[in-house]
A and B are shown apart, each in its own frame.
Chain A
Amino acid sequence: MTVPSVDQGVDTKVDRVPGARREALYFALRNKKLVGGLTVVLLFLVLAVVGPMLTAHGPREYVGPPMQPPSSEYWFGTTTFGQDVFAQFVYGLRATFRVGILGGGLTAIIGMFVGFTAGYRGGLVDETLNMITNVVLVLPVLAVLLIISAYLRVRSVEVQALIIGLFSWPWVARAIRAQTFSLRSRDFVDLARLSGVPTRRIIFGEIAPNMASYLFMVFILLFGGAVLFAATLDFIGLGPTEGISLGLMLNNSVKWSALQLGMSWWFIPPGIGITAIVGAFYIMNVGLDEVFNPKLREM
């Protein structure tokens, strides 16, 4: 549902002059949504990097008395089994960023590859890729993830990211295909083709840079999507078999009746973590849209 915000507004960036980049930076620094979103993301990133150094024990170790509310010793309290919720939270943040970057990155790469190829080559290649895209598009991603994950004996963040990447690329491919179509008829691409530059070089040398800001915004949306998908999988019980993640924390808290026992410190932090990171990314995306798309600037 957040997809449409990047669907339009690409062609304004084409044919940019050197001054335009400085101008974009100027607007970027003055955009409250962008700066605010970035601040929140960085805050959590720092917590994910530094947090584990602040706790002496691992996320799954049984370290203290069970079911303790937050205290000076256990900042976020402990679980039913006496695990430190703060340790779980900061390690879980790491998993969240990892799955977001890997899953979002992989989705973006596959989507770009398919989209560029289809849009640039056209013809039969396009027809075939388009058919595949449409099939994967209507296939409900979660259901496929479910069926694959369920059969895996060992699950890790990396494997999760891989399956997410393999099944959520279609809309990226479609958007990029459309953009490539409109770009490939421009003069500068024709010029490159006439001077005998290979296709791959044209795509990465001429077309991709013109879509750079757009691709960046796509990646942001994919990051959010991958994080939410991973959390959903974890929650259903198909999370990583080793280590911890924010989704797994939610899964455990519900499984061990944290709700009925009133242990709100167990299920509130992981939810806040996911919501804040993904939400901050989405709001950053709106900010970026305003920066890159002058039509929206003055509003």
Chain B
Amino acid sequence: MRRYFGRKFLIYALTFFVAVTINFMIPRLMPGDPVRSMVARAGMQTPEAAATMQEYYTRIFGLDVPIWQQYLNFWAALLRGDLGISIWLFPQPVTGVIMRAVPYTLALLIPAILLSWFAGNKFGAFAARRKWLDNTILPVGYVLTATPYMWLAILLAWALGIIAGIFPIAGGYSFSLAPTLSWTFVGSLLAHWFLPFVSLFLVFFGGWAIGMRNMIIYELEADYSHYLQALGAPQRLVRKYAFRNAALPQITGLALQLGVIVAGAVVTEIVFSYPGLGHLILKAIENQDFFLLQGAFLFIVIGVLLANFIIDIVYVLVDPRTRTGMGGGSA
């Protein structure tokens, strides 16, 4: 088990290293002077602001020192938690801007992932081998996974927000409210949270349901299922075991899907102007705010790595085969 975690840890450390290096390399690999083009594209109103910015970025990029020193400086700044200054929200530091957005993203993602995982798996297991459900509802599941996240979000916003007018479709809370700990404010938060959440939940749900349905069909055909049936065990027990075993690869599947899930969250936030990381990314791109974009990139990578680590721990807890040191869980 120590070897298992040691190996995982090595992979995550390497991944983080690669991500930081990508972050460092990309601006330097692109043709042209990154500082000048950034300042030019930022389109500052006054010459003084432009000059301050020019000076600041030249210092930050430190283009006059050798490339290896630039790289070390980059790491040093990173380890101090310094991700630079945002252009869009100049002169706020990127770290602070991102930290304010992260809670919104997590509030969407964590419930959407967990609930869709449980509900989707239950439903998929329920549909498998029930001919009628299998043939009518699974195509629906496939269509759901094939739906671009933003399109489902747009449709929901249009149907429930614009036409029915039940839910607000922009922002994290009503613009007329200031953040306070009151029932009105919490209510407003919830109302704004609901549609993006449902939108993410639905697409995830389709994927888990299909995955479970496909897994459990194999499990129900596995030898241990046949053995139980030959022993006259009720279908309930057979399905219970098959479900448990089919859920294990679904946990690994969750780890594999994290990248796609994050992508879904980003575009969904954009549709609903929800003030999380996705919204920041859009603003960063619109305003050519590369520091903010790179900061968001690093936060996403760190988040995904942490989530992977948590999933690894969960996997070890639920699969006895990894604990007895016989392998089992995939790397």
Instruction: Confirm or deny: A70 has a beta carbon within 8 angstroms of a beta carbon on chain B.
Output: no
Contacting pair B267 A236 (CB below 8 A) = yes
A260 to B165, CA, bound (A): 11
| A93-137 interface (Cβ within 8 A of B) | 130-131, 134-135, 137
Q: How many residues from A make CB contacts under 8 Å with B?
A: 62
Question: How far apart are the CA atoms of A274 and B155 in the complex, in Å?
Answer: 14
Stretch at the interface among A194-202, A211-219, A277-285: A277-285
**Complex contact A236–B270 (CB within 8 A):** yes
Select from chain B the residue with minimum beta-carbon distance to A1: B207
Residues of B145-172 contacting chain A, CB below 8 A: 145-151, 154-155, 157-158, 161-162, 169
B139 at the interface (CB under 8 A from A): yes
Q: Is the CB of B266 within 8 A of A8?
A: no
Q: Give the Cβ gap from A244 to chain B, nearest Cβ, in Å.
A: 16
Docked complex: A144-160 residues within 8 A CB-CB of B: 144, 146-148, 150-152
Q: Do A232 and B149 touch (CB < 8 A)? A: yes
Among B256-305, those with CB < 8 Å from A are: 256-260, 262-263, 266-267, 270-271, 281-282, 284-286, 290, 293-294, 296-297, 300-301, 304-305
Is A254 at the interface (CB under 8 A from chain B)?
yes
Q: B129 near A: Cβ within 8 Å?
A: yes
Chain A minimum-CB-distance residue to B207? A1
B93 interfacial contact with A, CB 8 Å? no
Say yes or no: is A237 at the interface (Cβ < 8 Å to chain B).
Answer: yes
Q: Are A143 and B300 in contact (CB under 8 A)?
A: yes
In Å, the complex CA distance between A151 and B41 comes to: 12
Given known A-B contacts A143-B300, A146-B281, A259-B157, A299 and B145 have beta carbons under 8 A apart:
no
CB contacts under 8 Å to A, within B177-218, are 204, 206-208, 210-211, 214-215, 217-218
Which of A2, A232, A250 contacts B207 (CB under 8 A)?
A2
Q: Is A235 interfacial (CB-CB < 8 Å)?
A: yes
User: Which of B162, B204, B211, B281 is packed against the most chain A CB atoms within 10 Å?
Assistant: B281
B146 pairs with A232, CB closer than 8 A: no
Is B26 a contact of A147 with CB atoms below 8 Å?
yes
- Whether a CB of chain B sits under 8 angstroms from the CB of A238 is yes
| Interface set, chain A 198-250, CB cutoff 8 A to B | 224, 228-229, 231-232, 235-238, 247, 250
Contacts of B256 in A (CB 8 A): 3, 137, 171
- A262 vs B85: C-alpha distance when bound (angstroms): 39
With A and B bound together, what is the CA distance between A152 and B31 in angstroms?
9
A19 within 8 A of B: no
B211 touches A1 (CB 8 A): yes
Quick one: CB contact mask for A8-20 with B, threshold 8 Å, 1 for yes?
1000000000000
B34 → chain A closest CB, angstroms: 8
Given A138-B11, A142-B263: A150 and B155 interface contact (C-beta under 8 Å): no
Cβ of A141 within 8 Å of any chain B Cβ, yes or no, is: yes
Question: Bound complex: CA of A130 vs CA of B14, how far in Å?
Answer: 13
B22 and A144 form a contact (CB under 8 A):
yes
Whether A4 lies near B249 (C-beta < 8 A) is yes
Report yes or no: B263 in contact with A141, Cβ–Cβ below 8 A: yes
B12 proximal to A (CB < 8 A): yes
A1 touches B210 (CB 8 A): yes
Asked if B73 is an interface residue, CB under 8 A from chain A, the answer is no
Q: Are the CB atoms of A271 and B282 closer together than 8 Å?
A: no
Are A150 and B148 CB-contacts (below 8 A) given A131-B14, A140-B300, A259-B158?
no
Shortest Cβ distance from residue B103 to the other chain A in the assembled complex, whole angstroms: 19
Determine the chain A residues whose CB is within 8 A of the CB of B169 once the complex forms: 259
- The answer to the question of A264 belonging to the interface, with a C-beta cut-off of 8 Å to chain B, is yes
At the interface, yes or no: A275 with Cβ under 8 Å from chain B?
A: yes
Q: Does B253 contact A (CB under 8 A)?
A: yes
Q: How far is the CB of A233 from chain B (nearest CB, A)?
A: 9
The chain B residue with its CB closest to the CB of A229 is B263
Question: CB distance A140 to B301 under 8 Å?
Answer: yes
CB distance from A121 to the nearest CB of B (A): 18
**A286 on interface, CB distance cutoff 8 Å:** yes
Residues 55 to 103 of chain A near chain B (Cβ within 8 Å):
none
* Least distance between B173 CB and chain A CB atoms (Å): 19
A267 to B152, CA, bound (A): 11
Is B97 at the interface (CB under 8 A from chain A)?
no
Q: Which residue of A lies closest to B218 (CB)?
A: A8
The complex places the Cα of A165 from the Cα of B73 at a distance, in Å, of 32
Among B27, B142, B162, B258, the one with the most A-chain Cβ atoms within 10 Å of its Cβ is B142
Looking across the interface, which residue of chain B has its beta carbon closest to that of A152? B30
A81-B151 Cα distance, complex, nearest whole Å: 22
Distance between A251 CB and nearest chain B CB, rounded to angstroms: 8
Q: How far is the CB of B277 from chain A (nearest CB, A)?
A: 10
Bound together, the chains give a CA A296 to CA B26 distance in angstroms of: 47
Query: Closest CB of chain A to B239's CB: distance in Å?
Result: 16
> Looking across the interface, which residue of chain A has its beta carbon closest to that of B264?
A232
- List residues of chain A with CB within 8 A of the CB of B157: 259
Q: For the complex formed, measure the closest distance between the CB of B46 and the CB atoms of chain A, giving whole angstroms.
A: 26
Q: Is A182 part of the binding interface, using a Cβ–Cβ cutoff of 8 Å?
A: no
Instruction: Pick 19 A–B contacts, CB within 8 A, sort by A.
Output: A138-B11, A140-B262, A140-B304, A143-B301, A144-B19, A150-B290, A224-B146, A231-B150, A232-B263, A235-B148, A235-B270, A236-B282, A237-B282, A254-B270, A259-B169, A271-B154, A274-B147, A281-B146, A282-B142
Q: Ordered nearest first, which 3 A-B pairs have the shortest CB separation?
A: A1-B207, A271-B151, A279-B146
Interface positions of A (Cβ within 8 A of B): 1-5, 7-8, 33, 130-131, 134-135, 137-144, 146-148, 150-152, 171, 174, 224, 228-229, 231-232, 235-238, 247, 250, 253-254, 259-260, 262, 264, 267-268, 270-271, 274-279, 281-283, 286, 295-296, 299
